């Protein structure tokens, strides 16, 4: 590994103490925006699943009964 790449990568790492409060706030905002994106994806998938379940009640009840019987047979 060449020496100049080690020096360049070492300068990119900053200690948490030397970071300003504004950069902490920016980091927190970045995490918050990422969380909001994943939260909307998750709730979108859940709502989509509920729509599928509500539109196919016979299949849903058959799966629930089948899953319940398998779980009850596996318990002693």
Ordered by start, the domain boundaries in the chain are: 21-74
Q: Give the pLDDT confidence score for residue 9 in this predicted structure.
A: 46
Q: Give the pLDDT confidence score for residue 27 in this predicted structure.
A: 85
- pTM for this entry: 0.48
The pLDDT confidence band at residue 1, using thresholds 50, 70 and 90, is very low
Q: Give the pLDDT confidence score for residue 16 in this predicted structure.
A: 53
> Beta-carbon neighbour count of residue 53 at 10 Å?
14
Distance CA 44, CA 46 (A): 5
Alpha carbon distances (Å) from 66 to 54, 55, 56, 62, 73: 18, 19, 16, 6, 11
For residue range 5-64, list pLDDT tens digits in order: 444 444 444 555 556 666 878 888 888 889 999 999 999 999 999 999 999 999 999 999
Structure tokens, 10 = 């070492």
> Beta-carbon neighbour count of residue 10 at 10 Å?
8
């Amino acid at each position: 590994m060449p020496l100049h790449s080690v020096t360049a990568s070492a300068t990119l790492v900053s200690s948490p103490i030397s970071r300003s409060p504004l950069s902490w706030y920016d980091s927190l905002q970045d995490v918050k925006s990422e969380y909001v994106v994943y939260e909307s994806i998750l709730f979108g998938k859940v709502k989509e699943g509920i729509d599928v379940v509500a539109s196919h009640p016979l299949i849903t009840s058959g799966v629930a009964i089948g899953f319940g019987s398998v779980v009850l047979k596996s318990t002693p």
